[in-house]
Amino acid sequence: MRKPTVTAGTVSSTRAVPGRIARPEYAATGVPGPYKLSCVKVTDGQIARMRKAGGVARKVLDAVLAEVRPGVATDELDRIAHELIVASGGYPSPLNYMGFPKSICTSVNEVVVHGIPDSRVLVEGDIVNCDVTVFYDGMHGDCSETVFVGEVDDAAKKLVRVTWECLMKAIDLVRPGQLLNAIGLVIEAHARENGFGIVREFTGHGIGESFHMSPYIAHFFEPDNTAVMEEGMTFTIEPMINEGVAECIIWPDKWTAVTADLSRSAQFEHTLLVTRNGVEILTGGRDPWFSRGEKSFALK
């Protein structure tokens, strides 16, 4: 078994959000409102606001990824994201969500998800997932990418590429009338074919006025889940794929999830809208992630 490459560092003090910025319902208490069962958007106004929230999340994620390099502390990535989100008039959705202490999640190497930005410095050869969620104009937009810190080994490149392919293959089949479990079917097949483990404990989720709502989106095949996609649904797909076993262990901080065998884990996430004919990626950029320059994604 591998040795840990990540240990808990020092978490900086809480970053302030100016009083003029509208906050989600849990911002003061840490407690999200009642779990909503429908993420279907019935008015154009809601969809327009989701587009805006997704656009801000995208812009912030791009800004964060541009700062990933050896020597940068994950807390510095959090600071950059926090400042850009509030300067854009948004609230960083993770901040105090069920007590989460920071504004983004940074998950390095064996950290599967929900890594807390801290004093740990990125080192050459790491892979890091940066997950940005923004509450803007009353809606949440949620996206993440895994990128390379300097040069990484070929196994890391393969893991990251296959994980991205899992997300894109799943997005490709989103349309009204499609079974929700088609997502897990295609992701599980592609990950397995490449010998990787598929995380089961964390799923995609409906999103909108609430950060997390119905439906949950499994990234593995659930034969009995007969729920169907409908026009106007907004949900995330965010597969977490491991080099080794699928199982996770949660640190005593109650957030950081690491792989049980300390193998590396990658993740990509988009917020999606089911349209009349197909799907719109609300957190998509103009360029696909792999063509944004050799810096992060020099895949062979």
From 29-37, 68-76, 81-89, 127-135, give the range in contact with Co ion by CB under 5 A: 127-135
Question: Which residues of the chain form contacts with ligand MF3 (CB under 6 A)?
Answer: 94, 97-98, 100, 105, 114, 131, 133, 142, 205, 236, 238, 255, 269
Quick count: other Cβ atoms within 10 Å of Cβ 198? 20
Q: Hey, what amino acid is at 204?
A: G
Q: How far is the CB of 184 from ligand MF3 (least distance, A)?
A: 16
Local structure of residue 104 (DSSP, 8 states): S
Q: Which does 289 bind (CB under 5 to 8 A by kind): ligand MF3, Co ion, none?
A: none
| CB 106, CB 117: distance < 8 Å | yes
Question: Phi and psi dihedrals of 18, rounded to 5?
Answer: -55, 145
DSSP per-residue string spanning 137-203: TTEEEEEEEEEESSS--HHHHHHHHHHHHHHHHHHHT--TT-BTHHHHHHHHHHHHHTT-EE--S--
Residue 145 engages Co ion in binding (rule: CB under 5 A):
no
Q: Between residues 142 and 222, which has the closer beta carbon with respect to ligand MF3?
A: 142
In contact, 1 and 262? CB cutoff 8 Å: yes
97 binds, among ligand MF3, Co ion, none (CB under 5 to 8 A by kind): ligand MF3
Which of residues 25 and 151 has its CB atom nearest to Co ion in the complex? 25
Out of ligand MF3, Co ion, none, which partner does residue 94 contact, by CB within 5 to 8 A per kind? ligand MF3
142, 145, 222, 280: which one binds Co ion (CB under 5 A):
142
Closest approach of ligand MF3 to the CB of residue 120, in Å = 17
236 binds Co ion (CB under 5 A): yes
Residue 102: CB minimum distance to ligand MF3, A: 8
In the bound state with ligand MF3, the residue whose beta carbon lies nearer, of 168 and 299, is 168
Q: What is the nearest approach in angstroms of ligand MF3 to the Cβ of residue 269?
A: 5
d(CA 197, CA 243): 6
Shortest distance (Å) from residue 238 CB to Co ion: 5
Give residue for tokens 């004919």.
Answer: 277
d(CA 246, CA 33): 31
Nearer to ligand MF3, 263 or 267 (CB): 267
Residues 6 or more apart whose Cβ sits within 8 Å of residue 88:
56, 59, 60, 134, 136
**CB 25, CB 33: distance < 8 Å:** yes
| Binding positions for Co ion, rule: CB under 5 A | 131, 142, 144, 236, 269
